[in-house]
Structure 1
């Protein structure tokens, strides 16, 4: 039987007994219905995996005995910051989930001229918590020991300022002939992805004036939730940990 990987924001220390936080405990006790004596692999974002054995379990409270931590090798040396335009339905969920699988470091939801989604106040807070939960689940599934942060929604101007420390900043634009493999190898990359209707000419011009390079991923126009996956796969192949 496959040993479940569970994220917890609880402190984990070798040899100690730890009580899982509420979300992790409910998942282990209520959803997986695990019992004392069964094994878990826990992580809390510090880069390690912690083998653990359940010592007590109910639907709301789970305690574990923590074993010797193992350094997790799943993190890429390439730091990718994704600026993803807001989209409707489960498209944003898909983009977040797959970006985590592809090794993204943090995700910034963007509001752009052609965005159909508007988030403010409690609604924004609720969606951010939801997307962070999606990121946690994706990290559990794909074997990562760090969970990318989902930052508050930014405007294009805010995003451009936020990424000024990145060595390479890219805006996906299907009307250019610039390709990724022509660029020098960076350690930190910012990717800017537009909404379903694409970024406006003014937004692309604004990004270019701030040092963003327009790049194309081929002759076909990709959907807003597909573009970040394709772009990050290429970045990881060229500069990260999935190539030769």
Structure 2
């Protein structure tokens, strides 16, 4: 199913689906779908629908739901990333690959060594949606607004928190064991300041190391997700 192309719609009511705007344009003008064709539609919240096209209009396409696939393409556990913001080109790669590797949600954080504290939300959301379609997920990971590192770690988190650092005496972040929901903190270029490590530890975060090599932020995120997402 991951190899099949599908569409997104927030206009789903009972057994009917409406595709509009970009989704309608791609279906009708690019793929030239017609009434009677079968297409997959996701609500972006974890439900994938098998549908049959009823009518392709000028501005909208209407479909009838014929089957459901809950959590299609989703992971067994929820791994969230809190990432120190980095330069735009690297940030966009990070978003794309994190989605493909199964990230649950992303918190952009502003740290002591952050070089860029803003992001173009519309552009980021397009990258995320494109990656979701490419890898066959049924849920769109949430991208939160940037927030200071201290605000994030002081929030109440019900799941374990790991903070990545390159200290040799920290335990290695490993795979295996029972899959768990968790939040992983990854620093920007330059990593986390020692005061941030202390603050995170005081909030209950467990320091871990990914490798004995220095990694780019986006590479560290990919390695983290590849080890933890099941």
Q: TM-score, normalised by structure 2?
A: 0.86
**Residue aligned with 1:6, SS:** strand
Q: Which residue of 1 aligns with 2:191?
A: 198
1:171 maps onto 2:163 in alignment: yes
Displaced runs of 4+ in structure 1, greater than 6 A?
none
**Residue aligned with 1:20, SS:** strand
CA spacing shift, 1:25–1:73, aligned 2, 3 Å:
closer
Measured after TM superposition, the shift of residue 163 of structure 1 is 5.3
**Residue aligned with 1:28, SS:** helix
Q: Which residue of 1 aligns with 2:223?
A: 230
**Residue aligned with 1:130, SS:** helix
Measured after TM superposition, the shift of residue 36 of structure 1 is 3.7
- The gaps in structure 1 that reach 5 residues or longer are none
Aligned mates of 1:163, 1:26 — CA distance in 2: 43
Q: Which residue of 2 aligns with 1:10?
A: 11
Aligned mates of 2:189, 2:25 — CA distance in 1: 36
What is the root-mean-square deviation of aligned Cα atoms in Å?
A: 2.4
Verify the 8 A CA contact 2:161 2:204 in the aligned structure 1. yes
**Residue aligned with 2:124, SS:** helix
- The gaps in structure 2 that reach 5 residues or longer are none
1:103 maps onto 2:95 in alignment: no
Q: Which residue of 1 aligns with 2:28?
A: 29
Q: Which residue of 2 aligns with 1:161?
A: 154
Verify the 8 A CA contact 1:81 1:190 in the aligned structure 2. yes
CA spacing shift, 1:31–1:93, aligned 2, 3 Å:
farther
Aligned mates of 1:157, 1:137 — CA distance in 2: 31
